[in-house]
């Protein structure tokens, strides 16, 4: 097996790659997602596991060689994983620290994705990423993956929250700025009025005006989920919400149409909105929820206080957007 990109060569590992593999797997920072560096016997076990996968499956984690120098700088490939009951194919990537933030992970993983779809005839691919590993989550998103599930992985005696990202060969989901899909402004306005506006003495025209004003690239802004060319859900970033304007901005108007529920669209919308808030330099993000506190806790929102809203008892939640990790 051999995959080439502009700067990289991916191939099966041999015993000559063991020194490079040790550099990779015995670095505490690189192995953050595994809760610590490997010992020598664990490196050999990892190598042997990949050799078995090459023979039995025709894939595994391959050595990533920098063509300019011939040096092994990381691993990237496909492995079998079972995060839930159904086994899945996972794209994995791991790079030596001195090669972070140069686009190598995205370049290698994109080539692996294309190989899996064309040569392995895979219909969908996944990445299992520790929730706090923001750079690795960014790579997954650049591959066209969407956040679909949250689960806690038990590894080396530690409970580690993870997100499951997914991309399909014929992906039908798109998360776009409403500014780029203005034809869906009326759908967003009608959803918001039907879900909340009619209970708060609002009007459809006022809702339409609000979402027309959020079809931009700065706050206020809205995102639209489009599934199979149909509007499926939305979420917004407002300057104020529930009459509270001294803090913000606010994640608000999260809605998924009943026909599209059960497709993990809400997770993808929240994940993308957090990215937009960070793009705009926001340091924190707030929201109010009456019944979805567990969903938002998956994204590290914390409860601040409870209060009475027009829709019942509500929880004010806050999330810090300060970047604390630089791992990839």
List pLDDT tens digits, range 272-294: 999 999 999 999 999 999 999 99
Distance CA 54, CA 56 (A): 6
pLDDT band at 184 (very low <50, low <70, confident <90, very high): very high
- At residue 201 the predicted structure's pLDDT band, cuts being 50, 70 and 90, is low
Task: Pick 324 or 21 by higher pLDDT.
Answer: 21
| Contact of 306 with 314, CB cutoff 8 Å | yes
Is 199's pLDDT higher than 90? no
CA dihedral 310, 231, 127, 114 (to 10 degrees): -170
Q: How far is CA 49 from the centre of its chain?
A: 27
Q: Is 168 helix (H, G, I), strand (E, B) or coil?
A: strand
Q: How far apart are CA 175 and CA 128, in angstroms?
A: 20
Tokens of 89: 């194919």
Burial class (CB in 10 A: 0-12, 13-18, 19+), 239: exposed
Asked if residues 116 and 141 have their Cβ atoms less than 8 Å apart, the reply is no
pLDDT score of 97 more than 60: yes
Residue 155 binned pLDDT confidence (cut-offs 50, 70, 90): confident
Q: For residue range 34-91, what is the model confidence (pLDDT) as tens digits?
A: 888 999 999 999 999 999 999 999 999 999 999 999 999 999 999 999 999 899 999 9
37 CB neighbour count, 10 Å cutoff:
17
**Nearest residue to 62 (alpha-carbon basis) of 76, 43, 81:** 76
Q: What is the dihedral of CA 178, 179, 180, 182, to 10 degrees?
A: 70
pLDDT given for residue 326 in this prediction? 42
Residue 1 neighbours by CB under 8 Å, 6+ apart? 10, 11, 12, 54, 58, 59, 62
Provide mean pLDDT across the span 227-249.
Answer: 94
Give 32's pLDDT tier (boundaries 50, 70, 90): confident
Q: Phi/psi at 281 (nearest 5 deg)?
A: 80, 15
Confidence of residue 95 (pLDDT cuts 50, 70, 90): very high
Q: Give percent of the chain above pLDDT 90.
A: 85
pLDDT of residue 327 exceeding 70: no
Contacts with 205 (C-beta within 8 Å, 6 or more apart), sequence order: none
Q: What would the two tokens of residue 195 be? A: 């879900």
**Residue recorded with tokens 């991916």:** 10
Average pLDDT over residues 300-313: 88
Mean pLDDT of the chain: 93
Tokens of 149: 């599930």
pTM reported for the whole predicted model: 0.91
Domains of the chain: 2-168 (3.40.630.30), 173-320 (3.40.630.30)
CA angle 32, 35, 36 (to 5 degrees): 80
pLDDT at 113 over 60: yes
pLDDT value of residue 153: 87
């Amino acid at each position: 097996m051999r995959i080439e990109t502009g700067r990289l060569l991916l191939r099966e590992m041999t015993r000559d790659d063991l020194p490079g593999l040790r550099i990779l797997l015995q670095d505490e920072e690189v192995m953050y997602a595994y809760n610590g560096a490997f010992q020598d016997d664990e490196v050999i076990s990892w190598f042997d596991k990949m050799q078995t996968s090459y023979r039995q499956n025709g894939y595994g984690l391959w050595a990533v060689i920098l063509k300019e120098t011939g040096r092994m700088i990381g691993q990237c490939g496909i492995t079998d994983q079972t995060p839930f009951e159904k086994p899945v194919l996972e794209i994995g990537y791991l790079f030596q620290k001195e090669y972070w933030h140069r686009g190598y992970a995205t370049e290698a993983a994109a080539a692996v994705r294309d190989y899996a779809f064309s040569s392995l005839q895979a219909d969908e691919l996944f990445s299992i990423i520790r929730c706090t590993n923001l750079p690795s989550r960014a790579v997954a998103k650049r591959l066209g993956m969407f956040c679909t599930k949250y689960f806690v992985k038990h590894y080396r005696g530690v409970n580690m929250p993870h997100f499951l990202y997914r991309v399909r060969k014929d992906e039908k989901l798109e998360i776009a700025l409403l500014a780029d899909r203005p034809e869906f402004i009326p759908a967003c306005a009608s959803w918001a009025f039907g879900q909340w506006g009619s209970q708060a003495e609002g009007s459809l025209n006022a809702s339409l005006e609000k979402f027309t004003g959020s079809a931009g690239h700065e706050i206020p802004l809205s995102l639209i989920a489009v599934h199979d060319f149909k509007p499926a859900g939305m979420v917004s970033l407002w300057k104020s919400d529930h009459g509270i304007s001294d803090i913000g901005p606010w994640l608000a108007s999260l809605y998924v149409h009943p026909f599209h529920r059960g497709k993990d669209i809400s997770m993808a919308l929240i994940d993308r909105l957090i990215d937009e808030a960070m793009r705009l330099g926001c340091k924190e993000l707030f929201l109010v929820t009456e019944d979805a506190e567990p969903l938002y806790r998956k994204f590290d929102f914390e409860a601040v206080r409870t209060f009475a809203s027009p829709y019942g008892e509500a929880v004010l939640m806050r999330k810090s957007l300060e970047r604390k990790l630089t791992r990839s």
